[in-house]
Amino acid sequence: MNNIQKRLTDRKNIIEAVIFDWAGTIVDFGSFAPTTIFVEAFQKEYAFEITLKEARVPMGLGKWDHIKAVGKLDSVNQRWVTQFGKSMDDADIDKIYQRFIPLQKVKVVDHATPILNAINVVNDLKKQGIKIGSCTGYPRAVMDILIPVAAKHGYVPDCIVATDDLKHGGRPAPFMVLKNVIDLGVSNVANCIKVDDSTPGITEGHNAGMWTVALLLSGNEAGLTYQQYQQADKKTLEQARQKARVVLAKSNPHYMIDTIDDLPSVLTEIEKRLEAGERP
């Protein structure tokens, strides 16, 4: 028995699976691929302007639901009524969504670079016998383009569930992560960890009975580019961190960390808590 096999036997796979979000978690530092395309889709379909800040508010939802949620923001609704004489309805959402999908399919490749040490972290988990799941607010049509590009970068999760793969797949409902549980053959949801950069994604993990880890600096709420993150001083990073913490704390994650690079120490802590008999 080699050292890795011995370690797997000794630890008895207490943590069975980690289920990751995609944009802002594993790829696309700052989660810019979906947000910038929402801005563009509103503009191209209706010559209607939304801000990047408004586009970020419902991040984590399925994209049709995301558009609907943006339309319900007071600031957006007021401008929409002024421009069109009524609030946004489902037909409007359908049109924007149909405009969004081809734009997103083109742009998602440009934002497929893995975040920081993501590939090494994931591969180390695999070596420990931990299964790698994933789910996303992207529809399958977008994922079919993103998956092979991510694979070229070295990211190959054991399971991938898109928001439209299931009849009731949208976050914050737990169905996408539970589909991961089934497909990965996990024996206990309490032995799973959901890692995400959005409140719907963290709530999704809670609703499935999992441990939850929120990412503060690599995702949607901080909204930093990788270059801004690299160049920021301690004060700037702490301001971004606090901005994200205020929002993500509303979903009560078990842990909040800066990026996926900080995940291994959290897994060690969760494993100790599981060994002590704690549950999420």
Pairwise CA distance, residues 188 & 133, whole Å: 14
Among candidate residues 203, 212, 193, the one with its CA nearest the CA of residue 131: 193
* Catalytic annotation, residues: 21, 63
- Exposed (0-12), middle (13-18) or buried (19+): which is 163, by Cβ within 10 Å? buried
Pairwise CA distance, residues 211 & 106, whole Å: 34
Pairwise CA distance, residues 116 & 231, whole Å: 14
First to last CA, the chain: 33
Say if CB 185 and CB 76 are below 8 A apart: no
